[in-house]
Structure 1
C-alpha cells in the first residue's frame, strides 16, 4: 500500500491580480484606469514614466495589479505590436559570449565595463563572509544581497544588449552560439567555475532577441563546438591554439589575435556556411543533361 506524500502548496502574501481586456480599461491620454473589483468597477489615477511613453502606440492586452513590500500599487500592462517589416541586408555579426569579457563581436568590438567584474568580486567576498557567520541577521542580509546582485546583472545585460543591437543596421543578423546546457558541458579552470555558474548568458540573449525584433534584426545560432579552438585564418583546430584564456595563437599558420575575437569570427563564418548550404538549390544530373 502506497503512502500519501504531503505536498505543501505555494503561498504568497502579495499574489498579483490578472486582468484582461474585459476586466480593465486604460486611458493613457488622461492617466486613468478602471479595474473590476468585488463591488464593481473602480476608477484610479496613475503616473506613467516618460520612458514608457514610447510604447503608447502599441496595443495593450492583459495587466497585473501588484502591491510591493512598501505598500505601493503597480499596474503592469502588457503591450504588443507587430514586428517591423524590414528588407534583409548583407550584414552578419557573430558574437562570442565569454567569461572574462561579457561579449565580443567579429568586428573586434568588446562590450562591457571593467568595474562590473570588481562589483561581482566584492559581492562574492561579502557573500562568503555572511555565509560563514550563519546568523539570522547574516541570512537576512544574504537574501537582500541576492536580490541586489540579480538587479545588477539584469541592468548589465540591458546595457550590453542595447549597445549590441544599436551597433548593427536594420535587416542585419546577429549570431550567437547555442549555449543550451553549457554549464554541464563546459570544462573550465577551477578559478573560473564561479563566474561560469553566475553567467546570465540566457538572460542576455533573451534581451538581445526582443530588442532586435523591435528593430527588424534577425537572430541566429550555431553549434558552439570548436569555435574557440579553430583558427579563423586557416581553419586549423587544436586545443593548444589557446595558450591562455585571453589569447589565441594558431600552431599551424601562427596567426595571433584575442581569443574572443577569433571565436566571434568563427561563429559568423559557421553561420554563413550553414545558411549557404540551406539556401543552395539542389541540381540533379537530369537538369544538366
Structure 2
C-alpha cells in the first residue's frame, strides 16, 4: 500500500522562458475550450471518440502529440467530474438554477488553468534543480525551480505519473504526485482521541489544544475584511477578495499541517493510535447560532483529518474513525449521558457524578475510548474461530 502526496515547487523562469510558459498555458486552454465545445455539441462522447473529432485540428494548431492528448483528456475528465457532481447533488436538485446553468453550456477553461505534463513533455534534473518542459515555442531547458529540502527528497524518491503546470498570481508552479509507501502499523498501546471544534480546532485526550485565541482572532479579522470588501462591489474589490481567499486557504493549510504533525508525532512517540471523529455530514448535523455557523464553515476540518490520515499512514500510526454522537454529552468518568452536562462551549459538569472538566477535553476522552473499542472489535474479527 502507498499514500499519494502532492508536492509543489516554484518555477523561476528567466525573461525569455516566462513568456513561453505563459503562451503555452493560454494556447492549450484556448484549445481546451474548442474541444469542450465539440464535446458538448456531440453529447460528450468517450475520450476515444472525442479524439477522432479534435486531435487533427489540435495538431494543425501547433500542439505536440502528447500535449494534444492531454488537452483532450483534460476536457473529458472535466465532464466526468461535472457528471459526478450532478449525480451527487452538489449542484442542486434537478431544475435548480445552478444545475441548469452548469448543464446548459460547454465547460470553459481559464487562460491560466493548469495543464498536465507527462515524462515525455517534462523532465526533471534534481541535482541542478531545473526542469526541461515542452512549450508552443519548442522545448525550454534549464528552468530553475525552488522547494524545500524535504520536498526535493520526496520528488527524487517517490515522484510518479503526471505533473501539472500552474500559473497563479503571476507565478508558475509545478505540482507533482508522489507515491509514498505506507509504514507497517504497530500494535497501539491505547488511543489518543481527537475532538474537532470551533473555539479550539483540535483537542486531544493527552492535553494538546490546537489553535485557540490566536487563530480565532485571525479568522474573525479575515471575516471582517471580507465583509468590508464585499460591500464595495467593485472589480478591484472582487479581485482582492479572490486573492484574500487564496491567502486564507494557504494559512489554513499551513495551520492544519502544523496541528496534524503535532498530533501524529505525539501518537508515534508514545506508541498509541489515533481516534478521529467521523466527519461525514458534520455541517448538517451540528446545530449552531449564526456566528458559530460562520466559524464552522470557515475552517477546513476535512483537510485537517486528511492530513492526519496520510501522516499517520506514513508513520505507521494506527488510526480509526468513530461515531461522534453524544461524545460532548457523555461523562468520560462515569458514562452518564445528558445534554445538560454540556453547560457551555468550554465547560462540562456531569449531573451524574459531579465531575467538572473542559468540555472538549471530555469529548476527546470519549473519542479515545470509542477508538480503542473499534480497534479491539476489528482485531477480534480477524482472529480465526477455534474449531
Q: Normalising to structure 1: TM-score of the pair?
A: 0.87
Q: Which residue of 1 aligns with 2:232?
A: 133
DSSP 3-state at the match of 2:268: coil
CA 1:283–1:45: 2 relative to 1, 3 Å: closer
Q: How does 1:60-209 map to 2 (within 5 A)?
A: 60-61=159-160, 62-70=162-170, 72-169=171-268, 172-209=272-309
Find out whether 1:23 has 2:121 as its counterpart: yes
Q: Which residue of 1 aligns with 2:319?
A: 219
DSSP 3-state at the match of 1:174: strand
Q: Is the 8 A contact 2:274 2:371 kept in 1?
A: no
Q: Which residue of 2 aligns with 1:13?
A: 111
Using the TM superposition, give the Cα deviation of residue 37 of structure 1 relative to its aligned residue in structure 2, in angstroms: 4.7
Find out whether 1:49 has 2:143 as its counterpart: no
Distance 1:67 1:199 in 2: 25
Distance 1:31 1:190 in 2: 49
Distance 2:239 2:156 in 1: 43
CA 1:278–1:125: 2 relative to 1, 3 Å: same
Structure 2 residues not aligned, in runs of 5+: 1-102
Distance 2:135 2:223 in 1: 46
DSSP 3-state at the match of 1:81: strand
Distance 2:276 2:182 in 1: 21
Find 2:368's aligned residue among 247, 268, 284: 268
Find 1:247's aligned residue among 323, 343, 347: 347
Distance 2:180 2:374 in 1: 31
1:144-166: CA deviation from partner (whole Å, max 9, x where unpaired)? 32222222222221221122122
Q: Which residue of 1 aligns with 2:310?
A: 210
Let me know the Cα RMSD of the aligned residues.
2.5
DSSP 3-state at the match of 1:270: helix
1:58-101: CA deviation from partner (whole Å, max 9, x where unpaired)? 2222212233332x433223222211234333141110001111
Q: Is the 8 A contact 2:194 2:204 kept in 1?
A: yes
Q: Normalising to structure 2: TM-score of the pair?
A: 0.66
DSSP 3-state at the match of 2:181: coil
Distance 1:132 1:40 in 2: 47
Distance 1:139 1:65 in 2: 25
DSSP 3-state at the match of 1:75: strand
Hey, which of these two has a bigger chunk of helix by percent? 2
DSSP 3-state at the match of 2:146: coil
Distance 2:362 2:152 in 1: 41
1:175-233: CA deviation from partner (whole Å, max 9, x where unpaired)? 11101111111112333111112131101111111222222223210001111100101
Structure 1 residues not aligned, in runs of 5+: none
1:80-133: CA deviation from partner (whole Å, max 9, x where unpaired)? 221123433314111000111111111122122522111111111222233333
